[in-house]
A and B are shown apart, each in its own frame.
Chain A
Amino acid sequence: MPGLTFKHIAPFLSTGQNKASRILSYGGLGIGVLLLLCSIQMYVNINRLLKNKNPKKDGYDYISLTKTITNENMARDHSFSQQDIDELKKQPGIEDVSPLLANQFLVRATGGSNLPFSTDFFLEAIDEKFIDTVPPSFTWKEGQPVIPVIVSSDYLELYNTVFAPSRELPQFSENSIMAIVIQLECYGTLGKQNFGGQIVALSDRINSVLVPRNFLEWANNRFGGPNKVQPNRIYIKTRDANQPELLSFLQQKNYRVNKDKTKFGRVKQVLQAIVSGLAGFGLLVILLALVLFSFYLQLMIARSKENLQLLLTIGYSPHWLSITVAKRWIPVYIGVVIAALASTALLQWGFQRMVMNDSELVSPWVHWMVFLVAAVLLLVSVTVNFRLVKKLLYRL
């Protein structure tokens, strides 16, 4: 039916009726869409802000376990036996277990002429898959004089804030510390050897001084002798460090859990839950607005029923009528969604400028996901609208 538009049939429909309900549904739709878009944007912001502080990798928590030392059991052995490790592996919440291998010889670290300090030191090794930052240089072959070392980022902070000022030593940034080679003097009953130690990465997850496992095994054997010592500390990999079954098992075994590293994860989880709740509320408001609008449409079609029936009788196609009547509200929907999108953009800009003080961590622009959701919402609203009109018209 070329050339025919809504304008032709408009006088035959009582579209002007019930204006308040129509405007209310537009307003509701706008508020709902705004809530949803803002929630998504905040979700993105939270993820960006807490990205560097979240030790979760691929959705896992990595937490360290030790046996709790009390006044009563101080004298006892607090290492983990192979049986303890096997038992941990069987726990449903635990995906993987890795013991921390410790040095069985003495280590002394010295800074050389540029960095005049000397201290007793320790080294540990763990499965590489448990380390959050493993550069390709974190390898050692027998005969290699420089040992790559991964240090907890907390240690660098302690060094910079406490150790260095008290001894008038230079402070280091994360990058500059990696340029320094310290001396590691390894000695035990079976011998002594000097190595260079170069920090190749900082770990947010593992609180230790880590060297490649094959080096530590070799060095334990070389300087400490063949007697194997059981690990005192173990890392576990779990989906959720806060699941009750896991916690009660660990408590029952009297294991001490270091959950410091999961705290940011918890904060993030809580914030994400709040934002998700807000998004859910936004969706609910959108749903209510669409329902209200559908009432308006039903009322309009009921009021125009005789005329619509007659239009169908004189040859108007029900499909054309559905599309034309439904199309009438597409510009309104587009307007509402664009207004909500513009408000979201303004709020995000304000959030970045005023609340975050122009921080680079948060973009002043709206994330592409928000645009995508806005487009999907528009499509859903228009489709729901069209299907409803079509259903009502075919029922006539």
Chain B
Amino acid sequence: MQIELRQVVPLFIEEEKITGSGLWKNDLEFTPAERVQIVAPSGSGKTSLIHFLYGMRKDFSGTIAYDGENINSLGAEKLATYRQKHLSIVFQDLRLFTGQTVLENLEIKRALHPYHTANPIETMARRLGIHNKLGKISKTCSYGEQQRIAIIRSLLQPFDFLLLDEPFSHLDDNNRKKAMELMEEEAHIRKAAIILADLKPTSFYQPTRTINL
């Protein structure tokens, strides 16, 4: 799968933020196995870009296409299929089911379209140090723990692109490293690309391309 951007500009963004941007009003493609780093200060549209790429928002001009197909003309069902098989995401605001347990949050994603033959939840949770939180209601976990739940959730499905929106903001270096390693491994076995958006270049991440928004 390939994602193409043609002259994409958010409808709400100021003119001065477009000029000099490495992405807005540019033509570019994201291809499999790439490691893309998108760096930008707050308010320059990082989260919007990730949402645009995931097909969640349509308030932009220009076109974004999955394999040549304009995502704004994709039906809800087709978009759901892309999200099951080709696109995975870690939201900046995490978007967990706060009233459910950690395990329920992970199982609901894994049940949708499992990638691994054996259930990897226990192993991944152990690697990120939240295995003893699996039975807890997720809203009772700390923000850093919730970030790790969201990261594991994003790795339980097949994908060609892993979209990450400030995924480590509440993690210490040690946990960042562990999380990054896990994501790299999972992306590698799927031959998938990672598109990581953050305020500054992320440690433990070796991008093949860096774009300043």
Contact = CB atoms under 8 A, between A and B. Distances in A.
A4 B111 contact: yes
Contacts of B157: 315
Contacts of A319: 76-77
B195 to A, nearest CB: 17
B80 A8 contact: no
A310 B76 contact: no
A311 B95 contact: no
B108 A394 contact: no
B133 to A, nearest CB: 18
Contacts of B104: 11
A83 interface: no
A12 B112 contact: no
Interface string A309-323: 011111111110000
A15 interface: no
Interface residues of A, number: 19
Given A4-B111, A4-B112, A313 B95 contact: yes
B111 A8 contact: yes
**B interface, over-half SS:** helix
Contacts of A313: 56, 83, 95
Nearest to A315: B83
A229 B80 CA distance: 89
Interface string A268-288: 000000000000000000000
A1 interface: yes
Given A315-B80, A315-B84, A317-B81, A310 B112 contact: no
Given A11-B100, A310-B97, A313-B56, A318 B108 contact: no
A111 B107 CA distance: 97
Contacts of A394: 76
B92 to A, nearest CB: 13
**A interface, over-half SS:** helix
Given A315-B80, A317-B81, A1 B100 contact: no
Contacts of A314: 83, 95, 108-109, 112, 153
Interface string B101-126: 00010011101110000000000000
A1 B56 contact: no
Interface in B152-167: 153, 157
B97 A307 contact: yes
A1 B111 CA distance: 9
Contacts of B100: 11-12
A1 B108 contact: no
A279 to B, nearest CB: 40
A316 B112 contact: yes
Which one of A8, A9, A307, A317 has the greatest number of beta carbons of chain B within 10 Å?
A317
A390 to B, nearest CB: 11
A312 B111 contact: no
A16 interface: no
A3 B111 contact: yes
Interface string A1-21: 101100011011000000000
Given A1-B113, A310-B97, A9 B81 contact: no
Nearest to B76: A318
Given A316-B80, A317-B81, A394-B76, A12 B97 contact: yes
B113 to A, nearest CB: 7
Which one of B81, B108, B109 has the greatest number of beta carbons of chain A within 10 Å?
B108
A311 B84 contact: no
A260 to B, nearest CB: 68
Given A313-B95, A315-B113, A394-B76, A8 B83 contact: no
Which one of A1, A9, A314, A394 has the greatest number of beta carbons of chain B within 10 Å?
A314
Contacts of B84: 1, 315, 317
A311 B95 CA distance: 10
A9 B99 CA distance: 13
Contacts of B153: 314
B77 A9 contact: no
A386 to B, nearest CB: 16
| For the complex of A and B, 8 pairs with smallest distance between CB atoms | A315-B83, A317-B80, A315-B84, A318-B76, A8-B111, A317-B77, A315-B80, A315-B112
Interface of B: 56, 76-77, 80-81, 83-84, 95, 97, 99-100, 104, 107-109, 111-113, 153, 157
Given A8-B107, A310-B97, A313-B83, 11 more contacts: A4-B112, A11-B100, A12-B97, A307-B99, A311-B108, A313-B95, A314-B112, A315-B112, A317-B76, A317-B77, A319-B77
19 contacts: A1-B84, A1-B112, A3-B111, A4-B111, A4-B112, A8-B108, A11-B100, A11-B104, A307-B97, A311-B108, A313-B56, A314-B95, A314-B108, A315-B84, A316-B80, A316-B112, A317-B76, A318-B77, A318-B80
